[in-house]
Amino acid sequence: MSRETENAILLLVGISTAMIAVTGAYTRYVKPSLLPWLVASAALLVVLALVAIVRDIRDRSSEAHYDGHEHEHDHRHRPGVAWLLAVPIALLAFVVPPPISPQAAGPSVAEISPQVLRRAFPPLPDERAPTLSLPEILVRVAQDSANTLDDRLVTVTGFTLKQNGRTDLARVVIMCCAADARLARIRLSGPAALQIAAYPEDTWVRVEGKIPAGQSDPSGRTVPIFNAVSQSRTDPPPNPYAY
């Protein structure tokens, strides 16, 4: 691979990284809190590429008195296939991948010692039905020694997931990047569960309901039951992942 190709690919990587950061498409790959590091990486790559390009131009100018025939002959035999490396890099900037499917996400949590996880969580906001993310509900069910969720009306949003004749409410959770995506889910029951079950799979729903007491499982191997009392369809969020 020639120096020109190396510099061009390095510059293209930096520009593509900057573009997905500016457009917000980076949330399909990493969690939002990594944006400053992504911007810094893009800027560093662009600067390195420009420095290398300027240095090579100066080197060629200082060596202009040499016979360029042999140099030109060498370049005619260098494979142009190296430029194919630029194709996926360019696609990164212009093609946004679809959201990760529930089937592609890994299991929600790994088994961990209960003694490590159990602790008292702060009380929920003093509202009729405070809004919680689905991962927060799962964490409180598994780890909250104060049982702040027991029989408390809360609001949660997710998409329908049908499996083995049951309908769950689910979210795909990104811990750091898309490669470590996990599936968070709660099993629906109660008066609104039948209405939600009639929706097609992958329908986004906003649900009010309660977590019945006595479901604490620090290992995270069981799916909590959520007693849904009311529901309404909602539009998919711009960023479908939870964090």
The pLDDT value given to residue 163: 85
pTM: 0.72
Cα–Cα distance list, 189 to 60, 154, 216 (Å): 73, 14, 17
Amino acid 75: pLDDT:
47
Q: Is the distance from CB of 154 to CB of 147 less than 8 angstroms?
A: no
Residue range 114-242, CATH number: 2.40.50.140
Rounded to a whole number, what is the distance in angstroms from the first to the last CA of the chain?
A: 40
**E strands within the chain?**
153-163, 166-173, 182-189, 204-210, 225-233, 241-242
Exposed, middle or buried: residue 186 (CB in 10 Å: 0-12, 13-18, 19+)? buried
What are the sequence ranges of the domains in the chain?
Answer: 3-94, 114-242
pLDDT tens readout for residues 55-80: 878 877 766 655 554 444 444 445 55
- Give residue 177's pLDDT: 82
What angle (nearest 5°) sits at the alpha carbon of residue 136, between those of residues 116 and 203?
Answer: 140
Q: Which residues of the chain have pLDDT under 50?
A: 69-77, 110-113
